[in-house]
């Protein structure tokens, strides 16, 4: 018995395939692009291939993320807020607060011990403080987005970046570079400014001693460090941080599939 979760994000589309024991046996990831249905189909096929199964062996699929209603193989849809909470509590059972920084928005989520959402707030009006902001900073520096976190950790001098606006950060960075400031110090300032913004969102839902960081930006070690320093909390992240929404969706899908199988058994 297999179940899948497909998270169609504004930037990247992710898929997780679970077996009946809730073990992850396949993952798929690609840029979302303009064709949402194609992206969802491709990550699903990729994850099934990695799991070593045929796509028809997956009994139930749940779509999540902004493009969830266009998931090609989806049986149902659940919001990414519920899915991130479900996935985070599954991987880190003591988690009650979640910070999800994705391509174009940031969410602070509060959950109970069952992974059910108790409260949340989000910044989705503009890209300030999101993955898009970090991508803009990387672009100005002529670096890949995966390089800026490690570079920021080399910083030796504290430097304040006042702008969190994606449009204006470019000129602020160029200005700092023009004044001879070091690239790693500027980048550390960029990461600190996002951590500060994220901490304000987190305070609105309430902070607990254990925080789980999800979304693609959790793959950035500079952001992990900045959030840890700012919140002074234990910050969990895993290899699957970017897959957390897809994992939560797959867990919901598996529950539905198992419930369906039990119903059939009772009837027969
Ligand atoms: P969404 O669901 O909104 O599409 P994701 O949670 O998938 O967003 O995260 C996408 C973001 O993660 C992008 O802004 C991307 O730059 C960032 N990202 C992905 N991989 C890495 C990495 N290795 N290092 C740093 N940032 C990354």
| 248 Cβ closer than 6 Å to some ligand 1 atom | no
Q: What is the pLDDT of residue 10?
A: 92
DSSP SS3 for 123? strand
Q: How many CB atoms lie within 10 A of CB 192?
A: 23
Compute, in angstroms, the gap from residue 135 CA to the centroid of ligand 1. 9
Tens-place pLDDT, residues 208-220: 879 999 999 999 9
Name, in order, each residue with C-beta under 8 angstroms of 266's C-beta and a sequence gap of 6 or more: none
Task: Give the mean model confidence (pLDDT) for residues 4-28.
Answer: 97
Q: CA angle 214-66-260, nearest 5°?
A: 85
- The helix or strand, by DSSP H or E, that contains position 118, with its residue range, turns out to be strand 117-123
From 217, 221, 223, 244, give the residue whose CB has the most ligand 1 atoms within 8 Å, as the site to mutate: 217
Residues facing residue 236 across a β-bridge: 212
Domains in the chain and their CATH numbers? 1-92+242-268 (3.30.420.40), 94-237 (3.30.420.40)
CA 43 to chain centre: 16
Q: Which of 98, 103, 130, 249 to mutate to test the pocket of ligand 1 (most atoms within 8 A of CB)?
A: 103
- How many angstroms does the Cα of residue 15 sit away from the middle of ligand 1? 14
How many A from CA of 247 to the centre of ligand 1?
16
- 71-129 per-position pLDDT tens digit: 888 899 999 999 999 999 999 999 999 999 999 899 999 999 999 999 999 986 677 77
Instruction: Tell me the whole-structure pTM to 2 decimals.
Output: 0.94
Instruction: Tell me if 10 CB under 6 Å of ligand 1.
Output: yes
The residue contributing the CA closest to ligand 1 atom 9 is 216
Burial tier of 165 (Cβ tally within 10 Å: 0-12, 13-18, 19+): middle
pLDDT higher than threshold 70 for residue 174: yes
Report pLDDT for 124: 66
> Nearest Cα to 211, choosing from 169, 186, 241?
241
């Amino acid at each position: 018995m297999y179940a899948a979760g497909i998270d169609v994000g504004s930037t990247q589309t992710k898929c997780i395939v679970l077996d009946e024991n809730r073990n992850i046996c396949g993952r798929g990831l690609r840029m979302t692009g303009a064709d949402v249905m194609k992206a969802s189909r491709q990550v699903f096929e990729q994850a099934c291939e990695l799991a070593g199964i045929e796509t028809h062996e997956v009994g139930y699929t749940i779509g999540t993320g902004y493009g969830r209603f266009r998931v090609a193989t989806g049986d149902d849809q659940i919001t990414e807020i519920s899915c991130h909470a479900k996935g985070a509590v599954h991987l880190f059972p003591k988690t009650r607060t979640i910070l999800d920084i994705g391509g174009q928005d940031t969410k602070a989520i509060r959950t109970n011990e069952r992974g059910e959402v108790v409260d949340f707030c989000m910044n989705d009006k503009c890209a300030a403080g999101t993955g898009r902001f970090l991508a803009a900073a990387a672009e100005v520096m002529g670096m890949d987005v995966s390089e800026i976190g490690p570079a920021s950790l080399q910083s030796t001098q504290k430097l304040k970046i006042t702008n969190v606006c994606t449009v204006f950060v470019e000129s602020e960075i160029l200005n700092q570079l023009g004044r001879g400031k070091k690239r790693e110090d500027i980048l550390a300032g960029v990461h600190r400014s996002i951590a500060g913004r994220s901490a304000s969102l987190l305070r609105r839902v309430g902070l607990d001693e254990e925080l789980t960081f999800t979304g693609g930006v959790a793959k950035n070690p500079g952001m992990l460090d900045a959030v840890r320093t700012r919140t002074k909390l234990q910050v969990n992240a895993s290899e699957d941080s970017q897959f957390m929404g897809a994992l939560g969706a797959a867990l919901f899908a598996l529950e539905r599939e198992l419930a369906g199988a039990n119903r059939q058994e009772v009837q027969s």
